[in-house]
Amino acid sequence: MERKRAEDFDQDLLILFDAYVHGDIDRRGFLDRAAKFAVGGMTAAMLLDALSPRFAEAQVVPKDDKRLKTEYLEFDSPQGSGKARGYLARPANASGKLPAVLVVHENRGLNPHIEDIARRLALDNFMAFAPDALFPLGGYPGDEDKARELFPKLDQPRIRQDFIAATHLLMKRPDSNGKVGVVGFCYGGAMANNLATLVPELQAAVPFYGSAPNSADVPKIKAALLIHFAQNDQRVNASFPPYEEALKANKIQYEAHTYPGTEHGFNNDTTPRFNPEAAKLAWTRTVEFFNKRLR
C-alpha cells in the first residue's frame, strides 16, 4: 500500500499530531480529538497508525552495509550523566582522518531512523556519532510512545553536558581531523542551536526545525549555521526573528531556508510528514555545507 503524504491529511489533524509528538497531549487526548477527522471507514486509531513511523520501510542504508563500520560506544560524561552511549558510523575503508558530525535525535531518543541518518553521513565520508539522550533511563525503549513518556524525565542540563562531551570526544579521536559539526532534528535542532553557543570549537551547526537558543547566548557562537525550517511550523518558526536579529547583530555566519508546503519533521522519511523534494534539497545543502566547513 502506498504511503500517504502530509497533503492527504487535514492540516488541523497534522497540528494535533504535532502536539501529540511533542508531549502536549497524550495518546488518549489525540484519539479523542482526532475522532472528528475519522471518516470513510477510518478510526482515530487508524489515523494515528497512518501518521506514525515506519522504520523498516524507510531505511536507506542497511545496518549491515559492508561499506561501513558501525558500533555502539560508551563514553565518559563527568559533568553530565557520568556515562553516555551513542552509535558510531564510519566508512569501512577510510583513508586518513575524517571530519566528524554529531547527530542529535528528535524527542524519542536514538531510534532506527537516527541510526540510519548516521549511516547516510558515513557513506558521505564523515565519521557520524549519534548519542542517545535516553541512555541514563535505559536507552531508547524500542517503542515511540514509551520513548516520548521517558523524555520529560531527563535532566536536561546533564543531557546537554552529555552532548558537549560527545562533541569533545569526536574532536579528540585519533581518526578524526579535529573538525566537528552537528546536525539535529526537532529536539535535536534545538540542541544543535544550543551546542553552537556552548562549544566554541564547533565548526558548523545544522538545525532542522529546532527552537532558537537564548538570544543572550548568541554572541558566543563561533560556528557557521545552516538553518532549515518547515513552512507550516508556527511553534518553531516563532522563535526565529529574535534569533536572526541577534545573529545579524553579532555578524555570525548563517543561512536560513524555509521549505514551502512542508510540515515540522519533513526530513523524517518514516512518517507521512516527510516531503521528498524538500528533504532532498535540505540534505544536499547539509552535506555540501559540512564538506565546505569540516574538510
Binned average pLDDT, 10 residues per bin, the chain of 295 residues: 75 88 87 88 86 82 95 98 98 94 96 97 98 98 91 96 98 97 98 98 98 97 98 95 97 98 94 93 98 97
- Phi then psi dihedrals of residue 151, to 5 deg: -55, -45
C-alpha cell at 259: 521549505
Q: Exposed/middle/buried for 168, CB within 10 Å: 0-12, 13-18, 19+?
A: middle
> Residue 1's pLDDT is what?
45
- CA 286 vs. chain centroid, Å, equals 13
- pTM of this prediction exceeds 0.85: yes
User: Are residues 222 and 253 in contact, defined by beta-carbon separation less than 8 angstroms?
Assistant: no
Query: For residues 45 and 26, what is the distance between their CA atoms, to the nearest angstrom?
Result: 13
> Residue 3's pLDDT is what?
66
Neighbours of 234 (CB within 10 A): 11
- Phi then psi dihedrals of residue 233, to 5 deg: -150, 60
Domains of the chain: 6-51 (no CATH), 67-294 (3.40.50.1820)
Output the CA–CA distances (angstroms, integers) from residue 234 to 182, 229, 264, in the order listed: 24, 10, 9
